[in-house]
Amino acid sequence: MPELILGLATALAIGLMVGVERGWRERDEPAGSRTAGVRTYALSGLLGGVAAALAQATGSAAVLWGTGLAFTAVFSAFKYREMAEEEDFSATGIIAAMLVFALGALAVAGEPQAAGATAIAATALLAAREVLHKMVANLTWAELRSALVLLAMSVIVLPLLPDATIDPFDSINPRQIWTFMVLTATVSFAGYVAVKAAGAQKGILISALAGALVSSTAVTLAFARRSANDEPAGLLAGGAALAAMVSLLRVMAICAIVQPGLLLTLAPPAVAGAAAFGAAGLLLMRRREAVTGDAEAPGNPFDIGPLAAFAALFAVVSAISGFLLKVVGPDSLYLVNAVAGIVDVDVPALNAARLAGGGLTMENAALAILIALGVNALGRVGFAAAAGTAGFTVRLLAATAAAVAAAGAVFIAINAA
């Protein structure tokens, strides 16, 4: 009995929630002119719950199916008359009522949380009609194509790839490599949306800081491609520098969790490098750079060709790193971190942090992590040169040189003391 009461209450709440949105949208219509309002939708959800309860009590699904078909037929008949009178042939109201009935039944069938969550999402979708219509009206073919490609990459292709290494050196993982491709495309697409919604300067800042929480290399590659599309190189280079700052802080946070003792040696040079990247990024983004119309609305969120080339490079670097670690052995940690750092810093940093205090001293582990960070910073400049403009690359190179110099100076000073 308690479960049934909870399910019926959820079914009623679902109908009320959708009904309030539907009633608010038609609040200016005269009373009696609408097929359904708050009460009708609330009763529709409750009807679905009662039908499901009867189906369970009698052990016959025909009760639920029959009630659902009868409800749909009656509601559609009334809605058709309203649509013909107002010359409005939208089927949204009918679909919403059918969904309310079905969700009410689902709530009583034993999934009230799923039914409630779906109802919230459906209500939000109904309430966002104007926003969605405006978005579709302004949607370009390049945006739609990129969104579909990104969905196919993440929803269709990614789950099909094996999540295991396929080479003799246990280094090439197809799903991991494809995940990085999806990540890079997502950062690029999110940056495109941010620029279009907030303008070039704010959009670049938002996408740089958010994307760097996952991968500063992906941010740099995406920004480099955008600079090649005549977007402002200075703003993009500043965003890439700020992403590098976040990347350094993120690695320190990871190392602090895995091996806090590393921070005594690692933190001073890493903080110095992060401060240099941050100062350079803010300086580049504060400069007023002419923003063309193309920069405000870039023509293509991302291209699949450069992503595939970068994935191939990622695989090659991973294979070389795996070969060195397996053939040369753990003594090659510095070299392994240098090779792996070209495309990623998290894996070499975690590996060194794991070995610190065991077979590796804190100082040597910190040095190995700093080598990976330095090579990764220089690697981002290489990616910028390959995918971006000279203006973008030179600015990022200057910021990187300042950060590497600051970190190196602090590291040498500490070890010399």
Whether residue 206 contacts residue 189, with contact meaning beta carbons closer than 8 Å, is answered with no
Q: At which residue do the structure tokens 């969605």 appear?
A: 132
With contact defined as beta carbons under 8 Å apart, do 224 and 391 qualify?
A: no
**Helix-strand-coil split of the chain, %, nearest 5:** 80, 0, 20
Residue ranges per domain, the chain? 2-135, 141-416
Each residue's pLDDT, cut to its tens digit, for the chain (417 residues) gives 688 999 999 999 999 999 998 888 776 666 655 667 788 999 999 999 999 999 999 998 999 999 999 999 999 888 888 877 777 777 888 899 999 999 999 999 988 999 999 999 999 988 888 877 777 777 677 778 888 888 898 889 989 998 888 888 777 888 877 887 787 677 667 767 766 666 666 777 887 887 776 678 888 988 998 888 888 889 999 999 999 998 898 888 878 887 888 888 899 999 999 999 999 999 998 865 544 444 444 456 667 776 777 677 767 766 776 677 677 765 677 887 888 788 778 777 876 777 677 656 788 888 888 999 999 999 999 989 998 999 999 999 999 999 999 999 998 898 776
Q: How many residues does the chain have?
A: 417
Any alpha helices (H) in 259-345, and if so which ranges?
Answer: 263-286, 293-296, 304-327, 333-340
Q: Are 219 and 377 in contact (CB under 8 A)?
A: no
Query: Which residues make Cβ contacts (< 8 Å) with residue 245, sequence separation at least 6?
Result: 212, 274, 275, 277, 278, 281
pTM (predicted TM-score): 0.57
Tell me if 41 sits within 8 A of 19, measured CB to CB.
yes
Residue among 141, 160, 165, 187 at smallest CA distance from 307: 187
- Measure the CA–CA gap between 107 and 109, rounded to whole angstroms: 6
- The pair of structure tokens assigned to 339 is 């090779």
CA-to-CA dists, residue 391 to 86, 191, 388, 395, angstroms: 58, 20, 8, 6
